[in-house]
Homo-oligomer: A and B are copies of this chain.
Amino acid sequence: MIDRGDLNGKILFDDGEHQFIWLGADSDFRRGVVQTMQYLIVDKGRGWLLDPGGVHLFSRVVASASRYIPMDRIEGIFFSHQDPDVSSGIALWLGVTPAKIYISELWLRFLPHFGIVDGSRVTSIEGLGKGLGLGSGARLSFVPSHFMHSPGAFSLYDERAKILFSGDIGAAVFPDGQEELFIDDFRAALPHLEGFHKRFIASNVVAKRWSEIVGRLEPAMIAPQHGGVYRGQAAKDFLSWLSGLRCGVDLVDELYKS
């Protein structure tokens, strides 16, 4: 169970001028709707939101984030990919913050289908190069995550906090009432994440490549959009498992059975 005291959020890293914050959980988990986790980076009084989510989460996430920073100090919103649970709240977020939106160039022309979107506030991650600097000197770097699952996807590595925001990668779905904020024992969590990764990631070709890139970063935590935050040895064990996973088109006969 997640501690009741953490339901409204928890600071995962803080060195005085730079924080990486988990924005809490729904106190009332809704059956039949995939649960999501949101994160906020605060750096010298400026904020970045990571996959802040769809329209029905908007009010909770605004309320949670605003306890750490005023909405008019949010300067960036990172979308790992185009799925509705990630980005369908885009028009609301553009309204309540002055933020720019960062997403793979593959989805720039798709976002307007969520509603009224000012294209001048949407920036392609590919166009930025490998990352960007924040006010404190901290760096956010973009890790290609294409086909895991979305054809155009990125993870975001906060080098100062040593935390990787991985989007859908590492996503777990725990049984009702058994949600945990941290995953410390990878083997215990595996039954709650194995099926998703086998079915959604396109191929071992990318699972292996991504695991190698992330492994070299030596993240202290891997923080996905669903499930729990991997820490310490569990993060290493997750990468090791993922790099050997047969998934997606590797199992084409199961997918296209006649």
Q: Quickly give the copy total for this chain.
A: 2
Cβ contact of A256, chosen from B57, B146, B151, cutoff 8 A: B146
Is A203 a contact partner of B249 (Cβ separation < 8 A)?
A: yes
The verdict on A88 contacting B112 (CB below 8 Å), with A200-B106, A252-B206 known, is no
Docked complex Cα distance between A56 and B114 (Å): 8
Interface 9-residue window, one of A10-18, A21-29, A79-87: A79-87
A 24-68 binary contact with B (CB < 8 Å = 1; else 0)? 000000101110100000000000000001111100000000000
Please tell me if A144 contacts chain B, counting CB pairs below 8 Å: yes
Closest-CB distance, A89 to chain B (whole angstroms)? 8
Chain B residues with CB under 8 A of A108: 32
Chain B residue with Cβ nearest A257: B144
Is B199 a contact partner of A151 (Cβ separation < 8 A)?
A: yes
Docked complex Cα distance between A151 and B249 (Å): 9
Docked complex Cα distance between A114 and B82 (Å): 12
The verdict on A248 contacting B112 (CB below 8 Å), with A88-B88, A147-B255, A151-B149 known, is no
Docked complex Cα distance between A85 and B113 (Å): 5
Is B202 a contact partner of A151 (Cβ separation < 8 A)?
A: yes
Is B202 a contact partner of A249 (Cβ separation < 8 A)?
A: yes
Please tell me if A119 contacts chain B, counting CB pairs below 8 Å: yes
Is B203 a contact partner of A203 (Cβ separation < 8 A)?
A: yes
Chain B residues with CB under 8 A of A84: 82, 84, 87-88, 110-111, 113-114
Is A209 a contact partner of B33 (Cβ separation < 8 A)?
A: no
Closest-CB distance, A1 to chain B (whole angstroms)? 22
Please tell me if A217 contacts chain B, counting CB pairs below 8 Å: no
A 200-223 binary contact with B (CB < 8 Å = 1; else 0)? 101101100110010000000000
Chain A interface residues toward B at CB < 8 A: 30, 32-34, 36, 53-57, 82-85, 87-88, 106, 108-116, 119, 144, 146-147, 149, 151-152, 199-200, 202-203, 205-206, 209-210, 213, 248-249, 252, 255-256, 258
Q: 7 tightest CB-CB pairs across the interface, nearest first?
A: A54-B113, A202-B202, A84-B113, A34-B109, A85-B113, A205-B249, A33-B112
